[in-house]
Amino acid sequence: MKTKAIRKLRDKLSRNESVHGLWVTLESASITDMAVAIGLDWVVIDAEHGHLDWKEINEHIRAAHRSDTVVLVRIAQRDTSLTKRVLDMGADGIVVPWVETVEQVQEALLDCRYPPEGRRGIGGERATVWGQCMAEHTDEANEHVLVVPLIESVGAIPNVAAMCEVDGIDLFYFGPADFSSSVGSRGQWEGPGVAESILKLKDTIIAAGKHCGLMAAGVDDLVSRHEQGFRVLGLGSDCGFLMRGIHQSLQALDCDRAPATSLDPADGRAIRLPLSQRPDHIQPDRKQVITTVAQGQVVEIQSGVELTAMVGEFNTARNLTTGVVNIEPDAFLDCHTHPCSESITILEGEAEVMVEGRAYRLGPLDNIVVPRWLPHAISNCSSTDKSKIHVAFPLSVPERNMVSRTFKRTEMPADSTGVPGLEHVTRFETAKRTFGVGPGAEFIDYFNAEMIPGLEMSGGFGRFQPGGRLPAHLHDFDESICIVDGEASCLVEGNEYSLTNCDTAMIPRGRVHYFVNESSESMDMIWVYAGPMPVRIEIDDSLASKQCELEGNENE
């Protein structure tokens, strides 16, 4: 145990200075040697995950011997024998995974303290200088040993305040990925609601006079975490830095590749850096238009059925019309066809969509896509409440042809996803989510030409947690984005807008833009592209902030 290094770390934290460290997962002790050489405040040797054996853990600890770099070992579980062993090797403390209760904290402290305060046995290893400094070490070890609970599950939330009251705990660490898994968002770094929970727990810990930290997801996140008040900052992991460096080198040669999601050979999917400028062949010729519901074009389609067009020829959109339809209680839209496909997404209430007699009952955020010329009708299932739906067509001015033919009614199962080759249904509750497109954002693809061969448009649902956003990007076709819940900020080439309550942005082909959720609540959107596949061209953020010189009309 290096009491001088531990005192130095605690002293920095007492002055509200951040302490920086590295998460070590690979075998070579040279990694810890590098951390010491560069003067990092701490390293964590990860003995919970991965393949480090005791010899390799020992070598990492030895690499930081007689330095000011604190060495902690994350043990595989709270266990007396594991704790004794790593502390006897000379570790300055332990990181205890999956701590959820005060009792677990107290048990970890007992493992790390010599009697009578604890149950740690006395060994003649490095910690006691092979038995030569047994009295000196045992006299100071209980006071200085660092015990770091790792908060990584929702089960810990109600108990963190009480954990802070346990004498002998200086700091806590968060594990966002496992935290996300515990709320059902497996595979995400910070799933829905996790970021907010961690920030609230951080405030609780700081208010109790303790310190906390976590691993940064990148340089921008590192700066953000410091600003949020985290002071025990993990710069990253050794394997993370290595992989990042490999990717950056490949990116410089424009030949980066995504790895396979298994132990098979890499699948060769290209990874592209954001472009530094707009492609020459995708130059915009129109301005973006932001339309509120009050500004939309209102059309009574049928008694009790009213369409508010939000995007279309009237606001310069090409090959795309979107809108919001309100259906009064018990009202219905008679059977009809279109010379193009139609997307129908339920926003409020319930609706029944009947396609050639096949009746689908749909609830909030369920979607059905009806291909061109397929007869269909829509009705409100409720006799007391309105239904609100979002519709989209891949035409600037959609056409409707009434159908007089009657069809035999067939009740479709509640989990039906449609008929292959005909209509396609996406059930929101069971739909496949896509993550990693942008921080704090998840997406559902409702429809595209890969899902429905021959489809002329693509679209889906997006949910942004607070702070969630997409990279700056553009498309080779027009886009409609309707904010159906919460509030969104939209930045389009130097122009910033706030959208809510079904406000809809029409972003023309070639316009650089992105959406971000700057509120404290989640934000939902329905997006539709006037193109058969959801192709997004990422571009440098600065182009989204740069004022465009093109003259034209713009809805402020």
Query: pTM for this one?
Result: 0.62
- Give Cα separations from 122 to 14, 88, 258, 316 (angstroms): 31, 8, 50, 79
Q: Are 477 and 429 in contact (CB under 8 A)?
A: no
How does residue 202 score in pLDDT terms, banded at 50, 70 and 90?
very high
- Give Cα separations from 327 to 19, 352, 487 (angstroms): 59, 11, 24
- Has 475 been annotated as catalytic? no
How does residue 264 score in pLDDT terms, banded at 50, 70 and 90?
low
pLDDT of 467: 85
DSSP β-bridge partners for residue 45: 24, 73
pLDDT of 269: 54
Query: Cα–Cα distance between 505 and 473 in angstroms, integer?
Result: 15
What is the DSSP code (8-state) at residue 469?
B
pLDDT over threshold 60, residue 485: yes
pLDDT over threshold 70, residue 333: yes
CA dihedral 529, 399, 325, 553 (to 10 degrees): 60
Query: Cα–Cα distance between 73 and 93 in angstroms, integer?
Result: 7
Please pick, among 20, 49, 144, 513, the residue that the annotation labels catalytic: 49
pLDDT digit string (tens) for 373-382? 999 999 999 9
Torsion sign across C-alpha atoms 120, 122, 125, 130: positive
- Through-space distance between the first and last CA atoms of the chain, rounded to whole angstroms: 63
pLDDT of 556: 38
A 10 A CB-CB count for 466 gives: 18
How does residue 268 score in pLDDT terms, banded at 50, 70 and 90?
low
pLDDT of 194: 86
Least confident of 272-276, 329-333, 440-444: 272-276
Torsion sign across C-alpha atoms 283, 286, 287, 289: negative
pLDDT over threshold 80, residue 63: yes
The single-letter code of the amino acid at 314 is F
Q: What CATH number should be reported for the domain whose range is 3-238?
A: 3.20.20.60
Average pLDDT, the chain: 92
- Domain positions in the chain: 3-238, 277-556
pLDDT over threshold 80, residue 267: no
Question: Sheet of 458-464: strands edge to edge?
Answer: 289-291, 504-507, 479-485, 523-529, 458-464, 441-447, 434-435
Mean pLDDT, range 117-142, rounded to an integer: 94
The residue length of the chain stands at 556
Peptide bond into 116 cis (omega under 30): yes
Q: Are 152 and 179 in contact (CB under 8 A)?
A: yes
pLDDT of 435: 78
Query: Cα–Cα distance between 3 and 137 in angstroms, integer?
Result: 10
Mean pLDDT, range 187-196, rounded to an integer: 80
Domain 277-556 grouped into CATH 2.40.30.110: no
pLDDT over threshold 50, residue 553: no
Q: Are 419 and 368 in contact (CB under 8 A)?
A: no
